[in-house]
Chain A
Amino acid sequence: MSARTDALRVLLRIAFRNLAAARVRTAIIGAIVLGGAFLVVLGSSLMDSIDRGMRTSIQGSLGGQLQVYSAASKDPLELYGGLRGEPQLEPIEDFSRVKEVLSRVPNVKAVVPMGIDQAMVATGNVIDVALERLRADVRRLEEGDRSPEALRGYEARKAHVRRLVGLLRDELGQALAIVDLEGREAEERRREWADLTNAASDGFWAGFDGDRYGHLELLENRIARLSMDGSFTFIRYVGTDPDAFFRAFELAQVAKGEMIPKGHRGILVGKQYAEEWLKLKNARRLDLIKDARDRRGRRLADAKDEELQRWVRENQRGTKDILQQLDPLQAEEAARRLRAALGSEAAGEDLPALLARLFRVDDANFDARYRIFYDQLAPLLRLYLIDVGDTITIKAPAKSGYFNSVNVKVYGFIQFRQIERSGIAGMTSVLDLLSFRDLYGYMTKERAAEIARLKGAVGAKELAREDAEAALFGGGGPLEGRAATARIDERSLLEGARAPGPAQDPAARTYTQEELDRGVALNAALVLHDPAKLEATRRDVQAAADRAGLGLRVVDWHAASGVVGQFVTTLRIVLYVSLLVFFGVALVIVNNAMVMATLQRVTEIGTMRAIGAQRRFVLVMLLVETATVGLAFGLAGAALGGAAVWLVRAAGGIPATNDMLNFLFAGPALRPVLGGASVVVSLVIVVVVSVLSGLYPALLAMRVTPVEAMATED
């Protein structure tokens, strides 16, 4: 027994000393093994962390653990959109049935209805805003307020609108020069041009005070719509049960404003979307510069950082948006504030020069300028095209082919904790499901049944009326419709009051939970009590859905995430294939080195055999040697990998330099966690690879006969 352990000890001793004796060989093999273990530990830790991040991002933002959608759908569900836009999903006709059946499956905590799509949203434009203010002034005057303050404001607003109309005329004059005036719409264009020329003329403004409402009407109805500037943008939304959504997705939070009140129509605009697409460009660029400096350590002094230089340049040049927003009074106030904040050098400068100076930033003054912008200037500006409190008009092509539109109130901005900056999660806005159904033109069961009944009995006349209504609402006179709506929006923003008339007030139209549930959804997210039992629950859910004849396809979050999920799978495959290649090469190199080493030791091995060592002893001796290298350097490599993981963590993680990474990392940086499993796995892999690569030479050595030890006579 003790001799046996002593024999083992001598084996180890021989192994160690052989390794120490052949330093170069050991160093080469060791480096390979060490590198391998290092790569496995670091790679798998990063992968695991990305995987965790992904899971957090997807499960926490839209995915839940499972997703169900109609099995009749042509496309697979892609929560974050596919490469070819939104997938074509067949509707789930009656969500309440799905909810009822699936809620009873064990381990299912919540079933959240969803309808994800893109739509156009009217954002209003500068002229709309200015006209809105002017109308308020006009109303005050007409109501008898003749105070000097009111008059001054009125004149300033009037001057503002006049300047904007002038600018619009210049803009369109250029556009007109390149438009074919012989075309079908030539007459329309000519009339528009005549209107605009009239509105920009001295005569028009001289007569303004004579018929204020009349002139306003003309500006609002005929001129404002000519401004293409910022008239609409695209928005991606998930129509859902807002309460259920927030209960199910714990990462979701209202970043600004308030939650959509229960039973009300409304939208929570994606914060990240708002930042990127709705925010005043100058402010957005300042934010980007700040982020680059604060979190990425980039410097404005770095001339090679072209992106930063470009932002600074564009901010200095692109002050038009700010200038147009301000009426003369506000412009005066803005100039006064900037002069005070920017110091003596700025004393005699006008507003454009002051703005250019404000945005002429370097590393030394950036933080101060950033504060000046947000403290002094921003309160005078409208920072977001769509802001909390607005009522916006969303338009989307309905199933019928017509455009449907709904007016919804913006109750707030939504963001997802940890992945606030994610361009994928944060781009999605949350809309109430009923508005989604209106947009999509899906019919409730009752309506569908009624139409079917009517079709059977009378048919054509009633149906035609339905269609005509939809056509009128959705398709007829879109430009005028939008302009009028936008005007009302701005007033509700400015006055903090809702637009008059309950018929036009979307906030007044409420719905019950029953109405919400009983109707169409495109898919539903399932949140589980125990996410670990995902696959088992998926099968249970599928079985339950099949039993109830719901015709649903049940997929896990990973499959539902589409390209986003595939990206991680691809990453993992790349990692595994590279590791496989690495270890394949390592196997060959180590094997070669060990074969050479064994050939050099034929005499020694023969001697041992002659002295009385069994073949097994020789085999074990050589395997112990490679296993020792594997284990020793594997441990070192794993430790190094662990240290690298720790260092990366300590340094704040790998920064997510773009939206995709932010989403994958589930935060602004990937902070990898060293997995015990990855260390064990790496050790097992390198030891197995070492032993495998030592196996052939060991088998060779085993075949060495004791005769080899004998000196040949010749």
Chain B
Amino acid sequence: MSIVSIRNVSKDYMLGKTVVPALRGVSLEIEKGEFLSLAGPSGSGKTTLLNLVGCVDTPTAGTVVVDGRDTSRLSERALTELRLRTIGFIFQSFNLVQVLSVFQNVEFPLLLQGGLGRRERRDRVLALLDAVGIGSHARHRPSELSGGQRQRVAVARALVTRPALVLADEPTANLDSKTGANLIDLMKEMNRRDGTTFVFSTHDPKVMSHASAIVRIADGQLVGREAVGGDAAAAEGR
């Protein structure tokens, strides 16, 4: 069963008065539990596709259905709500709130959601911090952490609401290769543990090799989808 269903999607940007097509007639199904890598050179449309999947943008043509809902029919408000409930984000440059501690950064989406009591939130955040390996840094500020540690916090923040789908745009681009590999391992572990669907973009072949499948994009079009021996690749990466 697909968590994301993209059908014949096009996305144009306006650059002054010129129309710049970013995606042209893309169709893609993403299954639950997948660990999917979007690959392609810079400017190929990876980020645009992620934005559409992540409900931060809507297509010019075609439909994007996320968790059973057609995003083009949703209001800005409803899209925000959908992101809050269903999707987790990991950013290239971590994008932690600098003035909040590690704990508070991870807790933040839960506060936006509301509903959980303080104790439950605390337990969940601390468990997750332990799971991503930075439980001992809960009280630190992001500026006191290394890049790899920060991205782990970002992973924890993306996962804390237990989303069905986690999107990561070039999550390892600002990390050295070893740290990057460790992060992918972590994401993979989380993918295995909770069955969370991960979609990440990268142009690093080593990172790609960890994916369960690779979708290649070039010039705004899907050029291929290949399955990867995920476990083997993961073992190789270690």
**Contact A707 B57, beta carbon cutoff 8 Å:** yes
- Contact across chains for B99 and A709 when beta carbons are under 8 A apart: no
The distance in angstroms between the C-alpha atoms of A21 and B92, with both chains bound, is 24
Interface string of B68-104 (1 = CB under 8 A from A): 0000000011001101110001011101011110001
Is B50 part of the binding interface, using a Cβ–Cβ cutoff of 8 Å? yes
Q: How far is the CB of B43 from chain A (nearest CB, A)?
A: 6
CA distance A6 to B117 in the complex (A): 9
Assuming the contacts A3-B111, A3-B114, A713-B43, asked whether A610 and B98 have C-beta atoms less than 8 A apart, the reply is no
Interchain CB contact under 8 A, A21 and B56: no
Q: A14-B100, A711-B169 are in contact. Are A6 and B111 (CB under 8 A)?
A: yes
Task: Give the contact stretch, choosing among A102-110, A564-572, A600-608.
Answer: A600-608
Q: Which residues of A from 1 to 38 have beta carbons under 8 Å from B? A: 2-4, 6-7, 10, 13-14, 17-18, 20-21
Task: Write the nearest CB–CB distance from B94 to chain A, whole angstroms.
Answer: 9
User: Contacts A607-B95, A608-B97, A614-B80; is A710 near B118 (CB within 8 Å)?
Assistant: no
A352 within 8 A of B: no
Whether B111 and A711, one on each chain, are in contact in the complex, defined by CB atoms closer than 8 angstroms, is no
- B131 contacts chain A at the CB level, 8 A cutoff: no
CB within 8 Å for A710 and B109 given contacts A4-B114, A614-B77: no
Q: Is A609 an interface residue, CB under 8 A from the partner?
A: yes
Q: Is the CB of A603 within 8 A of B115?
A: no
**B46 proximity list for chain A (CB < 8 A):** 713
**Contact for A611 among B84, B100, B116, CB less than 8 A:** B84
**B218 on the interface (CB 8 Å rule)?**
no
User: Which residues of B sit under 8 angstroms from A608, Cβ to Cβ?
Assistant: 97, 108
The answer on a CB contact under 8 Å between A713 and B42 is yes
- A613 CA / B173 CA spacing, docked (Å): 26
B27 in contact (CB, < 8 A):
no
B47 within 8 A of A: yes
Is B19 part of the binding interface, using a Cβ–Cβ cutoff of 8 Å?
A: no
Report which of A4, A6, A17 forms a contact with B100, defined as CB distance below 8 A: A17
CA–CA, A707 to B115, complex, Å? 27
Q: Which chain A residues (338-384) contact chain B, with CB distance < 8 Å?
A: none
Report Cα–Cα, A610/B76, bound state, in Å.
12
Chain A contacts of B93 at CB under 8 A? 603, 711
Residues of A within 8 A of B8 (CB): none
Residue of B whose beta carbon sits closest to that of A17: B99
Chain A residues, CB < 8 A from B42: 713-714
B157 at the interface (CB under 8 A from A): yes
Partner of A3, one of B50, B51, B76, B116: B116
Q: Does A617 contact B (CB under 8 A)?
A: yes
- Interface size, A (range): 20 to 34
Q: What count of chain B residues pass the 8 Å CB interface test?
A: 44
Check if A705 is an interface residue, CB within 8 A of chain B: yes
Measured in the bound complex, the distance between the Cα atoms of B169 and A4 in whole Å is: 31
Given contacts A709-B95, A713-B42, contact A611 B108 (CB under 8 A): yes
B33 / chain A contacts, CB cutoff of 8 Å: none
How far in angstroms is the closest Cβ of chain B from A616?
Answer: 9
Output the nearest chain A residue to B40 by Cβ-Cβ distance: A713
CB distance from B1 to the nearest CB of A (A): 24
Contact B97 A604 (CB under 8 A): yes
- Taking the closest CB of chain B, its distance from the CB of A252, in whole angstroms, is 66
Contacts of A7 in B (CB 8 A): 111-112, 114
Residues of B within 8 A of A713 (CB): 42-44, 46-47
Whether B34 is near chain A, meaning CB under 8 Å from some CB there, is: no
A147 interface hit (Cβ, 8 Å): no
A707 with B51: CB separation less than 8 A: yes
Judged by DSSP, the binding face of A is helix
* B180 interfacial contact with A, CB 8 Å: no
- Cβ of A706 under 8 Å from chain B: yes
Q: Is the pair B83, A612 in contact by a Cβ cutoff of 8 Å?
A: yes
Cα A81 to Cα B51 with chains together (Å): 80
Of the candidates B46, B81, B169, the one having the most CB atoms from chain A within 10 angstroms of its own CB is B169
- Asked if residues B169 and A710 are in contact (CB atoms below 8 Å), the reply is yes
User: Is residue A712 contacting chain B, with contact meaning CB distance below 8 A?
Assistant: yes
- A711 x B91 contact (CB < 8 A): yes
User: B84: nearest residue on chain A (CB-CB)?
Assistant: A612
**Which B residues are in CB contact (< 8 Å) with A709?**
56, 89, 91, 95
**Most B-side CB within 10 Å, residue of A607, A617, A712, A714:** A607
Q: Which residue of A is nearest B85, CB measured?
A: A612
Contact, CB under 8 Å: A611 / B83: yes
> Does B220 reach chain A (CB closer than 8 Å)?
no
- Once the chains are docked, how many angstroms separate the CA of A609 from the CA of B79? 10
Instruction: Find chain A residues with CB under 8 A from B111 CB.
Output: 3, 6-7, 10
Q: What is the bound-complex CA distance between A609 and B95, given in angstroms?
A: 12
Min CB gap A19→B, angstroms: 9
Q: Choose among A21, A608, A610, A613 the residue with the greatest number of B CB atoms under 10 Å from its CB.
A: A610
Query: Which chain B residues numbered 21 to 76 have a C-beta less than 8 Å away from chain A?
Result: 42-44, 46-47, 50-51, 54, 56-57, 76
Q: CB of B177 within 8 A of chain A?
A: no
In the assembled complex, which residues on chain A have CB atoms less than 8 Å from the CB atom of B83?
610-612, 706
CA distance A710 to B173 in the complex (A): 13
Within 8 Å by CB of B113, from A607, A610, A612, A711, lies A612
Q: Determine which residue in A607, A614, A711, A713 has the highest number of CB atoms from chain B within 10 A of its CB, and name it.
A: A713
**B56-A610 in contact (CB<8A):** yes
Contacts of A711 in B (CB 8 A): 47, 91-93, 169-170, 173
| A711-B91, A713-B42 known; A617+B54 contact, CB < 8 A | no
* Cβ-defined contact, B89 with A610, below 8 A: yes
Compute how far the CA of A13 lies from the CA of B107 in the bound complex, rounded to whole angstroms.
Answer: 13
Contact residues in A for B54 (Cβ distance below 8 Å): 610, 706
Whose C-beta in chain A lies nearest to the C-beta of B163? Answer: A612
- State in angstroms the CA–CA spacing of A711 and B95 once bound together: 10
Complex alpha-carbon distance, A711 and B114, angstroms: 28
In chain A, positions 612-630 with a C-beta closer than 8 Å to chain B are 612-615, 617
Chain A residues near B50 (CB, 8 Å)?
A: 710
Binding site for A on B (CB under 8 A): 42-44, 46-47, 50-51, 54, 56-57, 76-77, 80-81, 83-85, 89, 91-93, 95, 97-100, 104, 107-118, 157, 161, 169-170, 173
- Name 22 interchain pairs, CB-CB below 8 A, sorted by A: A2-B117, A3-B113, A4-B114, A7-B114, A10-B107, A17-B99, A21-B99, A606-B95, A610-B83, A610-B89, A611-B83, A611-B109, A611-B157, A612-B81, A706-B54, A707-B51, A710-B50, A710-B91, A711-B91, A711-B93, A711-B169, A711-B173
Known: A13-B104, A709-B95. 6 other contacts (CB 8 A): A603-B95, A606-B95, A614-B77, A614-B80, A707-B56, A707-B57
Lowest 5 A-B CB distances belong to which pairs? A612-B84, A17-B99, A711-B92, A3-B114, A706-B56
Chain A residues engaging chain B, CB cutoff 8 angstroms: 2-4, 6-7, 10, 13-14, 17-18, 20-21, 603-604, 606-615, 617, 705-707, 709-714
